[in-house]
Structure 1
Amino acid sequence: MAIWWEVVLLIILILWLILHFLKQLWESRLYPPGPLRLPFIGNLWWFGFKFSADTLAKLAKQYGNIFTIWIGHIPMVILSGFQTVKEGPIKQSEAFAERPLTPFLKAALKERGILLSNGHTWKQQRRFGQVTMRRLGLGKKGLEHQIEEVAQELVQIFAQAKGQPLDPMLPITNSACNVICTLAFGHRFSLEDKEFLKLTEALESSLNFAGTFFHVLYEIFPFVMKHLPGPHQKALLSIETVLSFGKKEVERHKEHHSLHEPRDFIDFYLLQMEKNKDVPDSTFDDENLSQAIFDLFLAGTDTTSGTLQWALLLMASHPDIQDKVRKEIEDVFGSSQIIHYQDRKKLPYTTAVIHEVMRSKYVFLFGAPRQTTEDVNMLGYFIPKGTLVIPDLRSVLLDPKEWETPDEFNPHHFLDKDGHFVEKEAFLPFGAGLRACVGEQLAWIEIFIFFTSLLRSFTFRPPEGVKELNQEPVVGLTTHPHPYKLCAIPTSDP
């Protein structure tokens, strides 16, 4: 009798799985094509539960420039190639204006701040962010001067190695983080400060968790995962550490406020809170302020650091290009004149090299996810309202229809036949449309000043005995180089 019941239960289970699978196939018909979706795991089987830098490119070759992959029960529509992204988030910007509210993001960030909020909150916070960035003097003397000071501190750290092999990752990351501290808090930290080191470690831990196996599990089974120990709990704790760091700075600003003469992001935000204290639908409060500070660190530290790490690796790997950059800087500015961001127009080759670093070694695995605010019809496909959409900016920056040698590091992608710098429509490392990066201008100033300061001070070479530096990326939410060392030879040396 017991065996008979076991057989019946097994048959019922099999029938349920079949019905569940057929239901999934019926639901999938609403979305663009993609790999076969399996129960519970979706398409995770296709890429072995792990993305690589070329995963989406392989799928685009098989299924076209608009396709769907399923992370468990969550559909993700991928837009691949420049023309596809142009037809979506650029031309139909309003329809792709939301961020998806996945279970982990809800648990970690509570739908606040600038980057990951939606609706009224997002509109108020983003508008404030844009205005405040301008007020803080991006492109003018104030903040740019402080970035120059951080860049010179980084030059001194490199100089201390006296041409011996060094790992540039930590000093570059700490310097990029200190620029955000200047923007948000109005002051920098000593690179040995224990609280500052805790902040950088927490940021790294938060970013390293994104896209991992446990992150995927949390998104698929949030009701189970939130009660279990594991890396997801460490990531949530790391995010809270960064938020707490910001909250402490906010309290210090409240104690010694200078609302009559705001000097940094927190000052401007507290002033905005005061102005809106009687506005019923105001979203300016302590929680959104803490989240906005986290957003500044999230968007402005790892991305800038990764770009500069790639830049130095590529310079050491392409000494001919490195020599041309240094010669252009020397010909225009000599050895002593300070280079400002506005001087980039005098350095077309250097500017082209920086653009090409960002194109060929894009620091994100793909573009920041969007969510459709309405049903969308584009290029013959239907995308339902509320769908998670990934504009694959990596595919845009490597699109063979837009770039002559997409898989090569080639600064001439941004130069005309006379050596003048030229803008390219398909150059979209900061995104496009309504959700383009608020901090784009800050990133440009920072990368330009850091890069030119380092290149005029040092010649970068691989360590003795190293024939080739590894250019394959380490894949997470961002794509960094594998750990490497190089020799920074002072340019004054023979």
Structure 2
Amino acid sequence: MDSIISVIGTYVSWDLKSLLLFAAVFIITADYIKNRRPAGYPPGPRGLPIMGNLFTIDQNRAHESMTQVPERMVVLNGFDILKEALVTQGDSLADRPDLPLQTDIAHGLGVFTSSGNLWKQQRRFVLSTLRQFGFGKKSYKGTCLLHSKPFDPHLILNNAVSNIICSLVFGHRFEYGEEKFIKMMQLFDKALQIEGSIWGQLYNAFPVLMRRLPGPHQSVKQMWNEVKDFIWVELNEHKNTWDPSETRDYIDCYLSEIQMNKGQDDNTFDEENLVICVLDLFVAGSETTSTTLRWAFLYMAKYPEIQEKVQAEIDREIGESRQPSMEDRANLPYTDAVIHEIQRIGNIAPLGVPHVTNRDVELGGYTVPKVIAQTNFQ
């Protein structure tokens, strides 16, 4: 009897090993067939089966690794090819990829992660409305930041820049010591750090698994939900005092747009979209600007001789009786050049925002195929 059981056990053991071996070979083969490069595709580094380049990318120097996980990505580098892709063939690369973490947060709404008609309508409205309130005009003025002792400029700069966005979007600023404002700035900072870490990459690579595993990636969704709750409070306060004949800020304009577009077949304007658009404005406008300013502080401290020349030009052309404004730009060529050099060398988004092709395109002699279908991560 024992010998029979032993034979059965051995058979089951080998059968299980055969099953696992077959499954491994099948998965690797299927992955190879799915991800093999089509004819004319640009060259790039080889990735591991299933994992792609997940473990070869340097999270601190992702732009130099020139890879992304786990889907195949074409990285464009150089003025000519970027102009060809984003200007000459811009309509063919206007859409965004479905990144699971961003989809779980924004649900395909807003400006940053949306595509197609929704993106076109929201982008057009954002640009026209912000221009209406002075964004990008010569009369638009910034803020003044003074401090007499050594300090960490991180959160202070975030607060200063975000308050400019608040004045455009909410119609008012917040006191820097206001608890809910400080909390929102801290949530922004922490959530963006997690999204840019390996946890965000793993989430986008293996969404089904990562949605069920504990880790910082679980808290990031809660952080953004708290920020959205903050925006909902502002929205509801606006609705209680809203007068269609008087537009105070971005939210008022959006509420008017919702009313004007009711019943239209291609309407993309609603309160859910409004909240995500406001969230996008904060992410795109405040974090990028404050980070660039921190680089400016660093380079001014490292190169005091440059700082002295900038200060001398400002003193000579403007003096101490008033603050600089955009109207002074033409009279401050050296300062203008320094600002542009800071933006160049302190590149805060070296890989830019990802795009996907909506048709086959030819770029630099290579063929980048249309993204046939994207996974629905809802």
Give the TM-score, by structure 2 length: 0.90
In structure 1, what residue type is equivalent to 2:77? S
How many angstroms apart in 2 are the aligned matches of 1:121 and 1:328?
45
Q: Where does 1:376-387 land on structure 2 (aligned, <5 Å)? A: 376-386=361-371
Deviations 1:274-328 (A, max 9, x none): 2112323311110010011001101011111100000011001001100100011
Q: 2:113 aligns with which of 111, 116, 119?
A: 116
Q: 8 Å contact 1:32–1:77 — kept in the other structure?
A: yes
Deviations 1:247-277 (A, max 9, x none): 1111111111132110210011111112112
How many Å apart are 1:104 and its aligned residue?
A: 1.2
Give the paired residue count: 363
Corresponding residue for residue 39 of structure 1: 49
Q: Where does 1:203-222 land on structure 2 (aligned, <5 Å)? A: 203-222=188-207
Q: Does 1:51 align with 2:59?
A: yes
Q: Where does 1:192-341 land on structure 2 (aligned, <5 Å)? A: 192-341=177-326
Q: 1:71 aligns with which of 69, 72, 79?
A: 69
SS in 2 for 1:187: coil
Q: Does 1:10 align with 2:7?
A: no
Q: Where does 1:9-158 land on structure 2 (aligned, <5 Å)? A: 9-26=16-33, 27-30=35-38, 31-47=41-57, 50-53=58-61, 55-57=62-64, 59=66, 69=67, 71-72=69-70, 74-140=71-137, 144-145=140-141, 147=142, 151-152=143-144, 154-155=145-146, 158=147
How many Å apart are 1:130 and its aligned residue?
A: 1.3
RMSD, aligned α-carbons: 2.0
How many angstroms apart in 1 are the aligned matches of 2:68 and 2:338?
37
In structure 1, what residue type is equivalent to 2:321? S
Q: 8 Å contact 1:77–1:387 — kept in the other structure?
A: no
How many Å apart are 1:365 and its aligned residue?
A: 4.1
Q: 8 Å contact 1:24–1:37 — kept in the other structure?
A: no
Q: 8 Å contact 1:371–1:387 — kept in the other structure?
A: no
Q: 8 Å contact 1:96–1:371 — kept in the other structure?
A: yes
In structure 1, what residue type is equivalent to 2:86? P
How many Å apart are 1:207 and its aligned residue?
A: 0.8
How many angstroms apart in 1 are the aligned matches of 2:104 and 2:200?
12
Q: Does 1:370 align with 2:368?
A: no
Q: 8 Å contact 1:37–1:70 — kept in the other structure?
A: no
Larger of the two Rg values belongs to structure: 2
Distance 1:321 1:204, change over 3 A: same
Q: 8 Å contact 1:189–1:196 — kept in the other structure?
A: yes
Distance 1:71 1:140, change over 3 A: closer
Percent of residue pairs bearing the same amino acid type: 38
Distance 1:70 1:131, change over 3 A: closer
Q: Where does 1:157-176 land on structure 2 (aligned, <5 Å)? A: 158-159=147-148, 161=149, 165-176=150-161
How many Å apart are 1:70 and its aligned residue?
A: 5.5
Q: 8 Å contact 1:182–1:264 — kept in the other structure?
A: yes
Distance 1:189 1:93, change over 3 A: same
Deviations 1:210-269 (A, max 9, x none): 232221221122122223322112110111111111111111111111321102100111
How many angstroms apart in 2 are the aligned matches of 1:86 and 1:141?
27
Q: Mind listing any 5+ residue stretches in structure 1 that lack a counterpart?
A: 60-68, 389-494
SS in 1 for 2:72: strand
SS in 2 for 1:132: helix
The structure with the greater share of residues assigned to strand is: 1
How many angstroms apart in 1 are the aligned matches of 2:296 and 2:333?
17
Distance 1:168 1:98, change over 3 A: same
Q: Mind listing any 5+ residue stretches in structure 2 that lack a counterpart?
A: 1-6, 374-378
How many angstroms apart in 2 are the aligned matches of 1:222 and 1:58?
23
How many angstroms apart in 2 are the aligned matches of 1:231 and 1:365?
25
Distance 1:299 1:320, change over 3 A: same
Q: Which moved more, 1:118-127 or 1:379-388?
A: 379-388
How many angstroms apart in 2 are the aligned matches of 1:240 and 1:326?
43
